[in-house]
Amino acid sequence: MAAMRNATLELLERANVPSGQALALAQAIELEVASQRDAMVSRSDFLDLRGEFHTELAPLKADVTQLKADVAQLKADVVQLKADVVQLKADVVQLKADVVQLKADVVQLKADVAQLKADVAQLKADVVQLKADIADIRKELVQLRQEMYEWKSEIRVELHAVKAELVRWVFTVMLGQTAVLLGGGYFIVSRFMG
């Protein structure tokens, strides 16, 4: 500020402004600049915000990647389960063919078939549970997408606020420059007229 004051005073003295007025003008300019300094946004502020956004987005991206991997694994598990059910159905068909061929072992085969039916029922219950789990995962994915959308909306609002602050800062700087030019012009004109 001292360098600014000295340069300002030199300019005003070269314009033959009385030293008391020159000092008052320099102090007024310094006060105006100092009062606007807190409202100004610097490049480092923008870089800090950018770093924070990258830091906050990284875990979210990792979570989405993990969810995609989990969904892919669930899909593979469902495919395997379907293959197991198809295999079980083929086994039941084979057992029925064996029952026709081996009437002598009907009692034993009936017990085996009963056990297989219980296993199929358990598998059906497991499939129903898996479908319910998949439905829950889908709901969670929808909720996660909604949260991501809301977060994007918040980021947009923040960016809008930063843009508004930047515009306000630019107009403040322009107003300060205009005031300096008008003040200088006033003193020069007053010197020629006075």
Residue 161 domain-assigned (yes or no): yes
The pLDDT score that the predictor gives to residue 42 is 66
Please tell me the distance from the alpha carbon of residue 124 to that of residue 133, in angstroms, as a whole number. Answer: 14
Residue 179 domain-assigned (yes or no): no
Q: Which of 182, 194, 190 is nearest to 28 (CA)?
A: 182
Residue 36 domain-assigned (yes or no): no
Residue 32 domain-assigned (yes or no): no
The pLDDT score that the predictor gives to residue 137 is 93
Residue 31 domain-assigned (yes or no): no
- Cβ neighbours of 88 (radius 10 Å): 14
pLDDT, tens digit (0-9, with 9 covering 90-100), for 126-137: 999 999 999 999
Angle at 69 between CA 68 and CA 70, to 5 degrees: 90
The pLDDT score that the predictor gives to residue 69 is 92
Greater pLDDT, 106 or 156: 156
pTM recorded for the entire structure? 0.28
Quote the domain boundaries for residue 121.
43-171
- The per-type count for the chain, helices as H runs and strands as E runs, is 4, 0
Count: domains in the chain: 1
Residue 26 domain-assigned (yes or no): no
Burial class (CB in 10 A: 0-12, 13-18, 19+), 30: middle
pLDDT, tens digit (0-9, with 9 covering 90-100), for 64-111: 899 999 999 999 999 999 999 999 999 989 988 887 887 877 788 888
Residue 27 domain-assigned (yes or no): no
One-letter identity of residue 67: L
Residue 94 domain-assigned (yes or no): yes
